[in-house]
Each structure stands twice: as structure tokens, then as C-alpha cells.
Structure 1
């Protein structure tokens, strides 16, 4: 990759800003000053800016605990989006949220600039499971649970059989619901179809990824090597 593009991708400025830095003799590769932005950065090369080693990966994978009130979108003229929660130094070209959570839905959200991985995780034929913690307006009855487990037919699709686990000591009002699609408002529509209503919704798992209990709403972290390995395996 060209040096100017490499530094721009690491958020050292626009391509124009980076070219000025390079021409000002502020950038080096493997101990040698470089004044030509078209020079290629070889794998494993040590790049420095003002004597400081440049770090960070060009391809990133972030696990976020999405807070309520934030849009799952790349940008919006009027409202805050999940990309606005990413620190400038952590942003990369092409970074986007994989899938979507409604504005009032919280929980696990994957953000990456690995388009191939994101596409694979969202592909309908892969049926990547997603588990939600659902707070209900009224207790879940056995008949409701049976309907969810059998699948529900809507006008445009029929949901695959869902897995329902009732949290103990919740008065049947707190359940874990695992689905295999990702249709618009799907969980809310499924509960409405069986005669109930969702009052709070949080995604706690997507494929092999689980929401860390110590990750506060609005915060994010890079995937661990183990998590990334499990995710890459899941996409095959």
C-alpha cells in the first residue's frame, strides 16, 4: 500500500494533509526519511511520524454495547449514530455496523471495515443465530412460547423456529429469544403476533460473539484473537 494512503487510513489526516507531512520530512520507513507518498509500505515495515512509531491495524473489528437512543447507521444529519461513538483514532475507511439494531434497542453490535465478513454474517442462507434479552409487558404463556418455537408466518416471510428460554424469578416477563433472521422489527413483531408486547430489548449474542458483562453502554473494544477466530470460522 502507498505510504500516503497507509497514513490516511490510520487517521493521520486527509491524503492532502499526509502528503504535506511527508514532504515536510516528518515521515520515515525503517529508519529512513521518506519524502515520496507513493512509496510502498511493505508488510512488517516500521513507519514513523515525527519519530514516533505508527501503530494500529488497517482492518478493525469492534464489539460495541450499543446504547438506547443512538441510530445504527454510518451517519445522520440530525441524530447521533454508532459511528459517532468511535474515537477518531479508531476510525478506518469503510467502517460500518454489521446489521442493525433499532434506535431503542441496546446490546451487542459488531462494527468492521471487513466487508466480506459482514456480508457473510448477514447472508440469509447462513442463518447466524442472534439472541435477545426481551422484557415483556405481560407474562409469556406456554401457548405463546409454543407459537414462537414453531415459527410465525408474516405477510413477507415465515420466521424460523425460535428458541425461548424464560429467565427465572422474572414472572415470565423476561426471556431469551434466539432467532435466525434479521428482519425489520422482527422480535417486536413476533411478540406482537402472539399477543404480547416488548417493553425493552437488548441483543446479547450474535453467532459466537457474546456481549461482555463489563462492557458499559456506549463503549466498545476490539475483538480478541479468540473471538475473531471464532467469527471467521463461523462465516465459512
Structure 2
């Protein structure tokens, strides 16, 4: 692929705008030597205004999604894409969230432009574990763990029972819940079904991948070892 198209596909501008960058000498190698549009240069040796080029297609990011942001491209309020560089909205192939967290749920959110990887993560057959921590409006009554783990729990308007879920009690009103599926507002609906209400909810891991110290709204690109953790068992509840 020609350099102009490769850089334009990363969202740095239209092909015409990227061609102008070449003419202005803004695209160089790490030593500051000006590159030309027909040069054959490895991705990692390209600089724009002295900065390394964004990762090529196959990009995977994780973000600590803050409260109040929605997993949408078009919303009247704040969206998760506002927390990324503006050019990330223009990448081709497009960068998409891997599943969603609602506006009132914070925590670990993945993005990728790799469609096959996205579908592998969200596929029920992959049984990727998602771990949430929640605070509740009322004390647990005591039988929630057995019910959630039974594989027979039905939610209102659903036609299939929930897959077994593991409940770890951290305090009378604080829990950790591990799911291997992702139905609409599942955690909130599970507790509503047993007469309780989720007051705060955060996803703390996907597989063995955790937020690794990211603050709200912060993000980073993942490497192959990070992505492999997505398909590994989650850390224990006391980790």
C-alpha cells in the first residue's frame, strides 16, 4: 500500500492532505530524513512532525471508561471516542468498542479495528469472563450466589436462562460478579430480579486483563501478550 493511502487510512487526513504533508517535509524517518510518497519504509520508521505513526490496522486499545460517557459514535452527550485522539474516529478500518458499557457503568472497555478479534471476544462460544464490582442498595439476602450459579435463572422478557455466574461477596452490600455472556444491562437486571438495586457498577477485568493502573478516561494500546490475557481466566477475587 502506498504511503499516502496508508497514512490517510490512519486518520491523519485525506489523501490530498497527506500528500501536502509530504511536500511540506513533515513526514520523515527517525533520523529526520524527509520521506517521499513513493518510498518503501517500514511502519515503525515513519514519523509525522517527529512523532511515531499510530499503530497499523490490528489495533487494540483498552480504556478505563469514566461514568457519564456512552459507547456511541453519535450521542448528544459525552462519548468514549471523545477521549481518544480525533484522528482515531477516521481510521479505516474503523475502530469500534468491543461490546458496550452503559453511561452509568465505568471500567475496562476494549476497542479494536480487527473485526475477527472483536467477534471472537464477544462470541458466547468463547466464554470470555467479564468481572464486575457492584455496590448494592440493600444487604444481600444470602441465596443470590446459588441462584446466579444455577444456570436456571430467567430474566424478564428473556427466553433462555442465564449462563452460570460466580458471585463473590466482598461486604454485605459490595460484590464481585463474573459473567461469561453479555446480555443487556445484565448485572443490574440480575440484582433487580432478587429485589435489590445496583448503585454503582464497574467492570474490572476481561479475562485476565485488568486496567493496570489506568485512571478514569485514560487508555493505552495493547500488545499481543495483553490480548492473549483476554482469553485467560480472570484473577481471583482477593487479587
The TM-score normalised by the length of structure 2 is 0.82
Change (3 A) 1:79 1:40: farther
Change (3 A) 1:183 1:55: same
Deviations 1:89-128 (A, max 9, x none): 6664311111000110000001121221111000111111
Give unmatched runs, 5+ long, in structure 1: none
Deviations 1:127-172 (A, max 9, x none): 11111001111111222222112131132321111101011xx3x1
CA contact (8 A) 2:26 2:34 kept: no
Tell me the number of residue pairs that the alignment of Structure 1 and Structure 2 aligns.
225
Deviations 1:170-216 (A, max 9, x none): 3x10000011110111111111112211111100111221122x211
Paired residues for 1:110-189 under 5 Å: 110-151=110-151, 152-154=153-155, 155-167=158-170, 170=171, 172-189=172-189
Is 1:79 matched with 2:77? yes
CA contact (8 A) 1:83 1:96 kept: no
CA contact (8 A) 1:9 1:58 kept: no
Paired residues for 1:22-61 under 5 Å: 22-23=22-23, 27=27, 33-34=35-36, 37=37, 39=38, 41=40, 43=42, 46-49=45-48, 52=50, 54-59=52-57, 60-61=59-60
The runs of at least 4 aligned residues of structure 1 exceeding 6 Å deviation read: none
> How many angstroms does 1:233 deviate by?
7.6
SS at 2:177 equivalent: strand
The TM-score normalised by the length of structure 1 is 0.83
CA contact (8 A) 1:165 1:177 kept: yes
Q: Distance in 2 between matches of 1:229 and 1:177?
A: 22
RMSD over aligned Cα atoms: 2.6
Deviations 1:55-91 (A, max 9, x none): 3311322111111111012x11412111111023666
Q: Distance in 1 between matches of 2:16 and 2:159?
A: 48
